[in-house]
Each structure stands twice: as C-alpha cells, then as structure tokens.
Amino acid sequence: MKIAAVRLYKVRSGNTGERGAEFGESQYWGGGWQTHALIANPMSVYSKYARLRSLWMGPGQDPYAIEILTDEGVTGCAVNYGGGPMACLAIAQHFSRFLVGEDPFNIEKLWDQMYRSTLPYGLGGVTAMAISGVDLALWDLMGKALQQPVYKLLGGQTKETIPCYVTTHPDLAASWKNSGFLGVKVAAPWGAADRRDGLAKMQQCLERCRLELGSAMELMVDCYLSWDFEFATRLAERIQGIDVKWFEDPLENGSAEKMNAELRTHISPIQVAIGNLEFDYKAFAAILTERACDVIQPEMQWCGGLTAVRRIAAMAKSYGVPVIPHGSGVYNYHFVQSNLNSPFAEYLSVGDGMTVRPIFDAIVGEPLPVNGHVTLSDAPGFGVELNRDLIQPLEF
C-alpha cells in the first residue's frame, strides 16, 4: 500500500462549528460563549483587542480538513481546528514530497521527516498544526486499513468509559451541576491586565462557581496565558477554602518552565496545568525536567498529532505527571482510552455552553459524553468521516 494523494479542504461555516478568524467577530469558532463572553487572553493588555479574541486572531487559527488516499482505496482523514490555509500550504508544497509514494504505515519515519524538514523555519505554530493534521489522518488510515479502532493500535482499552470534565464560561457553570461530569473548568474573564480589580472579580467569580456547583464537582480555571506570577499567587491566597483543582496556563508559554515550577510551590495545593500552547515535544521535556507542572496538557491537534503526544506521555510517565490532552473530541478520546496515565478527558462545550453537542460540524460520527462519560465504539480508525457538505477543496 502506497500513499497516492493528499487532499486538503477549507472548512465552511456550520451551525456552531469550526469557524475561524476569516468568518469575523460574530462567527468565531464555537459560537455562543466563546464568541460573545468576556474571556481573558494574551492580548488583553491592549484595550483595542481585549473584548473579543476574534478581533486579533488570524488565519493560523482557522480550521482545515485533510484526506490521505492510497493506491488500494483506503483513505484516512482528520479535521484540525488550527493551522488553516497556512498549514495547508506547508502540507501541499512541502510535506507532500515525503508522503506521496510512501507506505502510510511508516508513521514514525514520515513524522520525523516532516519535523526535521521544518527545523529551519518551524518548531511550532502552524507547522506543528500541519504535522498534526497529517499525523492524525495517517493514524486514521492505519486503523481503517487494519479494521481496528485507533485506541487498539495504541495499546487497547484501559477503561470501560472515559470520565470527562466540561469547559464553559463561569456564567454558565451552574447548568452542569448533576450532569455526570467530574468537574467544570471555567474560562477566566479577568487577568493580570485587570490588576487589583481583576483579582477581586476573579475571587467573586470562583466563590460563586463553587457555591453553584456544590462540593462534589472539581473546579478548574483556564487562564489562557493572561495571568502573571503576582496575579496567580495573590488570587490563590484569596481563594483558599474554595477547593480549586488547577490553574491552567497561567503564565506566558515558550520559556516559562522555571517560573511555573516556582509558581507550583507558591499556590499549592492548587495545581499548575500547562502545555496547551506548547508545540515542540522538546519543550514538554523541559517542563517535566523542571517539574513545572502537576498536569501536562498537550494539544493533540497543535503539537504534532498523536505521534508527538505519545512521546510526551512516555516522558510524563516517569515523572508521575498525568497527561490530560487539552481540547476536546475524538482524537483525544482514543489516546485517553489507551493510556493508563490519562485518568480523564476534557469536553469543550460550544454554542450555548450549557448542553452537550458535537464539537466539530465538519466530521460525522463524533462520540459524545453521556452522563459525563464517553464510550468509544469498535469502528475502524477514529470512527468518523468528513462532512462533505461543510468542506471545500483547496488548490495550491
């Protein structure tokens, strides 16, 4: 079996699905609370762009779909909610030379060739998002060729069902009480740019969330790189007794492993969860070496795909650090199902932020949580297909 062609697609706007920056302020990816609610972010320091993420995001945050075809008629596919046309350009004009005519089962070699070939201009961002899409499509292809679900190719079933926590806006947290989810992660509306006023508002916000959720559910906070050391430590002091499980990505990424390691010691027993916006697997090695986190959170669709996350998980195991992939969807679920060191997964609410619905409109067959748990089928590959009504071929 040889790879015969690689097809790339733009994802058109669905009901509440994968809308990227190109669709404008009113239709940012996910819709609902992700579009209209106040959420602290790395650009919150600039008042012109603080209100909505879609005001500053660019084409690197647009989605794309990929399909890899073989000479024996077996096809693998994936949808990535990052990378957009920039990632597709790298795949079409660069990575295709390593793929067409090659054995699709040689995933390690193909991944390494893509990785090494981008060292002069990559090591993250859209190049990693491009590698991720190719890698996930190859794993899907392998599963379909062997008529096995991907999780069985990775080591099999480690849990009957996958417990999940749900991510939403704090204004919507109460709607998830008694939902079966193990906890709620709320997107922080305020961060370091809001100074002392932001501290008071975040304190009141988390006190309200704990009161609404009761004592049985975990409560986590997604800081989206918008806090700093002072903000995180002062807030941790203010919310003692609220029982917050973790602060996620409180500090800027890139070279913050030493500061995150120091932050851990200052805010314990609140945990530090990081990795969402790290890209090179070597960065995760540095984070783990510095013991800069309690939970490691690679984003499978951004950091190099399943192949990269397997490497990160192997490193994390020796440090006793659980791997809870950032983001939501079928790709993460197959990894979590197969990995003993991944006790649960994230479910990202979209649309109204109060109900369970598919994350992706551009794929058909996405498994959804029932009573807060995802159960995977034995369908081959990732068990999903492209929604042809929502994709448009790209030519380069």
pLDDT, one tens digit per residue, over 287-337 is 999 999 999 999 999 999 999 999 999 999 999 999 999 998 999 999 999
Query: Residue 340 — pLDDT band, cuts 50, 70, 90?
Result: very high
pLDDT of 35 above 70: no
- If you average pLDDT over residues 225-239, what whole number do you get? 97
Q: What is the pLDDT of residue 255?
A: 76
Q: What is the pLDDT of residue 28?
A: 41
- Domain range 3-147+386-393, its CATH number among 3.30.910.20, 3.40.50.300, 2.60.40.1930, 3.30.390.10: 3.30.390.10
- If you average pLDDT over residues 340-361, what whole number do you get? 91
**Segment among 64-73, 78-87, 152-161, 348-357 with least mean pLDDT:** 348-357
CA dist., res. 94 & res. 31, Å (int): 33
Choosing from 36, 169, 266, 326, the catalytic residue is: 326
Is 373 considered catalytic here? no
Q: Which of 42-51, 351-360, 379-388 is modeled with the greatest confidence?
A: 379-388
In order of 53, 132, 133, 154, the CA distances from 137 in angstroms are 29, 9, 6, 15
Q: What is the pLDDT of residue 38?
A: 86
pLDDT of 370 above 60: yes
If we measure between CA atoms, which residue out of 349, 311, 334 comes closest to residue 115?
311
Instruction: Confirm if 299 and 325 have CB atoms less than 8 A apart.
Output: yes
Choice between 50 and 185, residue whose per-residue pLDDT is larger: 185
What percent of the chain clears pLDDT 70, i.e. is strictly above it?
A: 94
Mean pLDDT of the chain: 93
Residue with tokens 């969860």: 273
Q: What is the dihedral of CA 286, 288, 289, 293, to 10 degrees?
A: 110
CA dist., res. 302 & res. 339, Å (int): 19
pLDDT of 26 above 50: no
pLDDT of 33 above 90: no
CATH topology of domain 152-379: TIM Barrel (3.20.20)
In the chain, where the domains are located:
3-147+386-393, 152-379
Residues facing 381 on adjacent strands: 149
For 338-369, give one letter per residue: b (16+ CB within 10 A) or e.
Answer: bbebbebbbbbbbbebbebebbbbbbeebbeb
Q: What is the pLDDT of residue 352?
A: 84
Q: What is the pLDDT of residue 36?
A: 67
What percent of the chain clears pLDDT 90, i.e. is strictly above it?
A: 84
Checking phi first, is residue 205 left (phi over 0); if not, alpha (psi -120 to 50) or beta? alpha
Query: Residue 266 — pLDDT band, cuts 50, 70, 90?
Result: very high
- If you average pLDDT over residues 120-129, what whole number do you get? 94
